[in-house]
Every structure is written in structure tokens, then in C-alpha cells.
Amino acid sequence: MTVRILDAGPLTTVQDLGRTGHLRYGIPPSGPVDRESFLLANRLVGNDDTAAGLECTYMGPRFQADRGCAIAVTGAAAPVTVNGEPAPRWTTIVLRAGDQVRVGAPRVGVLSYIAFAGGLDAPVVLGSRSTYLRGRLGGLEGRALRQGDVLNVLEGPLPAVRSLATPPPVGGEQETIVRVVLGPQADRFTDEGIRTFLGSAYEMTQQSDRMGARLRGPRITHTRGHDIVSDGIALGSIQVPGDGQPIVLLVDRQSTGGYTKVATVCSFDIGRIGQVKPGRSLRFRAVTVDEAHRLLRESDASLDGIATEEIA
């Protein structure tokens, strides 16, 4: 079956869990910024976690299915309609041939995810269907969706209709708390700089994208210069250039760089960063590597344990 894009929205891309093994050639993993919302969308339509779906930034698309199928919309609090009638998020939605779906602009949060039962088809490039926009790689011709695009959906059984008992509060917190492990270059900052980093609120700016979240707030001061011998940049690395303003590197990041990195955001909190709207703020809280691993196990378990109830 196919899905025709009637309106693409400002930045809608095909993503799966991303590509592994190509960072040594400068090719980032890509994949969804908010992995948790992405996985839940797939699970609500009975897909494997690895199936490809859509990531939508701010405004979602308007599209039409040519045959009956099932979809789920998760992530930011964006209004969903089917043929103009409100439809639920975090729930399997069964479509009939010709139904028109619209995912609007979110009240809260930034990123919405749309999963299709069976998963989207797109050429597998270097082991993944994910779109890497700057490298014009993967997805649909390496670019964001445009009006008139037609996406193929792989055949899959029609799933049972499920809903999440308690959807996660995406982007809805007053002030988002993000857990970090200090380092690898925390020793290149003054004690005052580290205190400022951990004790202040940092505001999301408009210049943020899938490559990195640029934040604004009290200056994080260095001890001796902000340049290092270029080294690898991990998911969540927080670079602090000379202006003392942090940049959190995300899924489309450059593989290496020469700025000092004060800390690294834990993998399970990357999605929370992606859901913070420009103008809203977040705070960093330091944890040890051991604590981070314990929290990761808890996060995995809670994701696997999120109750889906059959409603139908």
C-alpha cells in the first residue's frame, strides 16, 4: 500500500533506529531524536522496533492512505485528525482506504512520530532507512518529505487496537531535568564553571536541530582555552565553545570535533532534550556512570512495562 503526502510539514523525515558502524567514516547514526516515543509508536501498531516511520518537527504532515491500514501517532502533543474528526494519540488508529490524516502543530513538545503497521519502505542505505539530511543519505532521496511524495508501506498484519494506559508526559514538564555524566573534559572547566553548569537553567534556542541543541544561559567558564586536540563526539556530548554556551550533540552530529566537552547527556534523556521548545529551559543533573547504567536499565524496563490495553 502507499501513503500520499498532501502536505509535508516543515521537516518530516523517514527514520528507523539508525545506522551503526559508520561514525569512523564521519557518517552519524541518525534515527529518531526521541527514541522512546518512536519505539512506542512502532509497538502500538505491532511493528518490530526496527521498522521505519516518520519523525515530524513542529507541524506534522497531512496524508492519505490508498488502502486500509493501521497507524499510531506519539511524541509531542500535536492534534491528530482523520477526515477532520479528532483522533487519539498513543493509540492504534485504523484507517480505511482514502482516509485523510492530519498531524497538527503541537501545544507542548516538538517532535511527533507516526508509525505505520508493516513499516515504511525506503532503500536500505548502509544498513538503515534513516534520513541523514546534511549528508543527503537514506530515507527518501536523503531529504525531508515534500508535497506529492508517495511512500510505500511494507505488508504487515492488521494489529489489534491498543492504547497506552499512561502516556509519557512528553515535553510537558515545567522545567526539564536532564541527567549527565561529567567529562570527558570536565577538568578543562573552572569549579565555578561546573557549578554554573549544574546550577543554572539553560534555554533552548531556535538554532537547534537534529545535529545539536544550542542552549543559552549563564556562561560556563574554561580554565585554559576552549580548544582541544580533536576527538570523537558521543551521543549527548555537551560542547562548550569560547562563548561558554553549551551545545548538546544529537543523532545527526559531526563524528569528531575540537571543542571541550564538559559532560555527556545520558542516552535515556536525549529524547527529553529534543522535546524542549525554543524559549523553554532545562537543567542538568550529574550522575556517575554506575548510576547512569542503573537508570538506563530502569528506563528500558519501564518502556517494556508500559501497559498497552486492547480497546476495540
Partner 1 sequence: MRFLPAGDLAVSVELGEEISVEVNTRVRALEFLIRQKGLTGVLEMVPTFRSLLVYYDPRAVGYEAVCEAIAELAPQASTAVLPPARAVELPCCYDTELGLDLEAAAKRLDLPVDELVRLHSGAEYLVYFIGFTPGLPYMTGMPERILLPRLETPRTKVPAQSVGIGGIQCCIYSVDSPGGYWILGKTPLRLYDPEAPDPILLRPGDRVSFRPIDRAEYDRVAAQVEARTYTPVIA
How far is the C-alpha of 254 from the C-alpha of 79, rounded, in Å? 34
Residue whose CB is less far from partner 1, 50 or 230: 230
Question: Is residue 300 a contact residue for partner 1 (CB under 8 A)?
Answer: yes
Using the rule CB under 8 A, give the single segment among 7-15, 54-62, 149-157, 177-185 that binds partner 1. 177-185
Question: Is residue 257 a contact residue for partner 1 (CB under 8 A)?
Answer: yes
Residue 12: which region, alpha, beta or left (left: phi > 0; alpha: psi -120 to 50)?
beta
How far is the C-alpha of 271 from the C-alpha of 69, rounded, in Å? 28
The residue type at 247: I
For residues 116 to 155, the per-residue mask of contacts with partner 1, x marking binding by CB under 8 A and - elsewhere, is ---------xx-------xxxx----x-------------
How far is the C-alpha of 115 from the C-alpha of 52, rounded, in Å? 7
Residue whose CB is less far from partner 1, 111 or 270: 270
Burial class (CB in 10 A: 0-12, 13-18, 19+), 126: middle
Question: Is residue 26 a contact residue for partner 1 (CB under 8 A)?
Answer: yes
Question: What's 203-254 look like in SS3?
Answer: EECCCCCCCEEEEECCCCCECCCCEEEEEECCCCEEECCCCCCCEEECCCCC
Question: Is residue 267 a contact residue for partner 1 (CB under 8 A)?
Answer: yes
Counting residues that bind partner 1 (by CB under 8 A) gives: 47
User: For partner 1, which residue of 255, 281, 283, 286 counts as binding (CB under 8 A)?
Assistant: 255
Using the rule CB under 8 A, give the single segment among 31-39, 49-57, 210-218, 285-293 that binds partner 1. 285-293
| Closest approach of partner 1 to the CB of residue 23, in Å | 5
How far is the C-alpha of 21 from the C-alpha of 211, rounded, in Å? 18
User: For partner 1, which residue of 151, 266, 273, 282 counts as binding (CB under 8 A)?
Assistant: 266
| Closest approach of partner 1 to the CB of residue 258, in Å | 9
Using the rule CB under 8 A, give the single segment among 3-11, 47-55, 108-116, 259-267 that binds partner 1. 259-267
User: Residue written as cell 543533573?
Assistant: 285
Check if the beta carbon of residue 98 is closer than 8 Å to that of residue 64. Answer: yes
The residue type at 172: G
Question: Is residue 51 a contact residue for partner 1 (CB under 8 A)?
Answer: no
Question: Is residue 44 a contact residue for partner 1 (CB under 8 A)?
Answer: no
| Closest approach of partner 1 to the CB of residue 198, in Å | 16
Residue whose CB is less far from partner 1, 105 or 198: 198
Check if the beta carbon of residue 135 is closer than 8 Å to that of residue 13. Answer: no
User: For partner 1, which residue of 192, 293, 302, 309 counts as binding (CB under 8 A)?
Assistant: 293
Residue whose CB is less far from partner 1, 165 or 229: 229
Residue whose CB is less far from partner 1, 196 or 267: 267
Give whole-number Cα distances, 261 to 167, 247, 295, in Å: 34, 9, 22
How far is the C-alpha of 193 from the C-alpha of 215, rounded, in Å? 15
Give the residues lining the site for partner 1 (CB under 8 A).
20-27, 125-126, 134-137, 142, 180-181, 183-185, 229-237, 254-257, 261, 264-268, 289-290, 292-293, 295-297, 300
